[in-house]
């Protein structure tokens, strides 16, 4: 093959990969056996983890990228794409996952953040990224940084869908507003969405070092570059009437009805974390969630696949959590 004519890692290829996941269910797995169960049930991809979020939450401590040996084991076990999580901002974990040949990297709040100021500049990678977002602002920032897929930041490991629903509704309402905005209004929104990138520079300035307009405040970008970039993302949102990348539901989805509900709210597909392998019958649960996601419009199918499934994972109320993972990363 003439390698010079081939182009790798373009936006089209990265966003295209995410589009191939649409209408599907991506399942968290912690070993080869679980990965095979997921594939047999019809998962479109698996997320290779050391522990599922419910166990990460229970065990406490710093949660990091999974052991590459474990990820490779899972990659060898299945033919569908394998994703893996890196910590927010941890460029080297992401590079390591790319080197392993992982098909998509999740820069995830479920792991302990490595950088309180910034997310990874994902444009510099060949591997596509998925990132969490609680609002349109977070989504636009991640898309500008190069994310090929967005997902809600529902509270992982709780089996409680309420936060994922909240994020999807917030995003939908904001998109409806953006659709009606003129250029001046879009620019104002872009300016406001760009503010979190200033936090590092402002901390330094608070100590007495003066800032200039042409300071590079994030990677090779000035504040003005960032505002312009976010303005362009917002223009795409306005033109398309939706996020310009695939938008999945994630966090707290525990039942087939939860999955169908998220699809009803406009999700392009669903991530299921602890919900499957913390249920009483993982293979059946996995199949049922796949069918409910595809047939979310047909309540009779959702009812049918939900019959006699056994117990769903035990859920948790958000107010009673020691820490909300979704607040990690702005």
Partner 1 sequence: MKIAVIAAQGDVEEHVVAANKALKKLGIEGKAFATIDKEEVAKSDAIILPGGESTTISKLIHKSSVAEEIKKAAREGKPVMGTCAGSILLAKHGDEEVRKTKTKLLELMDIWVKRNAFGRQRESFQIKLDIKGIGDFEAVFIRAPAILKVSSNVDILAKLDDYIVACQQDNILALSFHPELTDDTRIHEYFIKMAK
Residues annotated catalytic, as ranges: 85
3-state SS, residue 46: strand
Question: Is 129 a binder of partner 1 (CB under 8 A)?
Answer: no
Kindly state whether residue 123 participates in binding partner 1, applying the rule CB under 8 A: no
DSSP single-letter state for residue 250? -
Q: Which of 132, 129, 133, 119 is nearest to 170 (CA)?
A: 133
- For partner 1, the closer of residues 138 and 291 by Cβ is 291
Q: Which is nearer to partner 1, 121 or 324 (CB)?
A: 121
Stretch that binds partner 1, among 219-227, 230-238, 273-281, 287-295 (CB under 8 A): 287-295
Instruction: Give yes or no for a contact between 99 and 92, defined as CB atoms under 8 angstroms apart.
Output: no
Using rule CB under 8 A, residue 17 touches partner 1: yes
| Pick 18 or 63: Cβ nearer partner 1 | 18
Contacts of residues 67-71 at CB distance under 8 Å and 24 or more positions apart, as own/partner, are 68/96, 68/100, 70/30, 70/31, 71/97, 71/100, 71/102
Smallest distance from the beta carbon of 21 to partner 1, in angstroms? 8
Which of 55, 73, 103, 215 is the binder for partner 1 (CB under 8 A)? 103
Select from 59, 79, 184, 206 the one that contacts partner 1 (CB under 8 A): 79
Which residue among 250, 291, 292, 302 contacts partner 1 (CB under 8 A)? 291
Q: Determine, following the binding rule CB under 8 A, whether residue 245 of this chain makes contact with partner 1.
A: no
Of 22 and 198, nearer to partner 1 (C-beta) is 22
Backbone angles phi, psi at 92, to 5 degrees: -75, -40
Return the ∠ at Cα 12 (arms to 10 and 14), rounded to 5°.
70
Distance CA 70, CA 16 (A): 27
- State the DSSP H helix or E strand holding residue 86, giving kind and residue range, or none if neither: strand 82-87
What are the structure tokens assigned to 151, written together? 């997902």
Cα separation, 191 vs 9, whole angstroms: 29
Question: Does 10 help bind partner 1 (rule: CB under 8 A)?
Answer: yes
Task: Look at the block and give the residue holding tokens 């299945």.
Answer: 78
Interface residue with partner 1, options 67, 101, 280, 311 (CB under 8 A): 101
Nearest to partner 1 of 42, 315 (CB atom): 42
Residues that bind partner 1 (CB under 8 A): 1, 5-10, 12-13, 16-17, 19-24, 39-40, 42-45, 79-81, 98, 101, 103-104, 126-128, 290-291, 294-295
């Amino acid at each position: 093959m003439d390698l010079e004519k081939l182009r790798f890692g373009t936006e089209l290829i990265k966003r295209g990969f995410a589009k191939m996941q649409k209408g599907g269910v991506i399942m968290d797995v912690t070993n080869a056996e679980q990965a095979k169960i997921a594939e047999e049930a019809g998962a479109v991809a698996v997320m290779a983890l050391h522990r599922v979020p419910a166990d990460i939450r229970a065990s406490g401590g710093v949660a990091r990228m999974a052991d590459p040996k474990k990820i490779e084991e899972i990659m060898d076990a299945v033919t569908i794409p394998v994703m893996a999580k890196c910590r927010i901002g941890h460029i080297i974990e992401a590079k390591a996952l790319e080197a392993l040949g992982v098909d998509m990297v999740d820069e995830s709040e479920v792991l302990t953040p490595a950088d309180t100021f910034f997310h990874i500049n994902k444009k510099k990678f060949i591997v596509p990224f998925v990132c969490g977002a609680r609002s349109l602002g977070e989504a636009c920032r991640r898309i500008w940084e190069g994310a090929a897929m967005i997902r809600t930041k529902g509270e992982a490991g709780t089996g409680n869908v309420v936060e994922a629903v909240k994020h999807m509704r917030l995003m939908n309402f904001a998109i409806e507003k953006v659709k009606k905005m003129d250029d001046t209004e879009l620019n104002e929104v872009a300016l406001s969405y760009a503010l979190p990138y200033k936090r590092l520079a402002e901390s330094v300035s608070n100590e007495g070092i003066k800032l200039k307009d042409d300071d590079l405040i994030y990677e090779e970008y000035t504040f003005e570059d960032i505002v312009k970039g976010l303005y362009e993302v917002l223009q795409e949102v306005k033109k398309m009437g939706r996020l310009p990348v695939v938008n999945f539901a994630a966090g707290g989805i525990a039942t087939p009805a939860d999955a169908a509900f998220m699809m009803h709210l406009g999700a392009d597909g669903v991530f299921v974390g602890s919900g499957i392998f913390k249920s009483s019958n993982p293979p059946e649960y996995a199949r049922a969630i796949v069918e409910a996601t595809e047939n979310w419009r047909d309540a009779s199918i959702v009812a049918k696949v939900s019959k006699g499934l056994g117990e769903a994972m035990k859920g948790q109320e958000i107010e009673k959590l020691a820490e909300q993972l979704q607040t990690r990363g702005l």
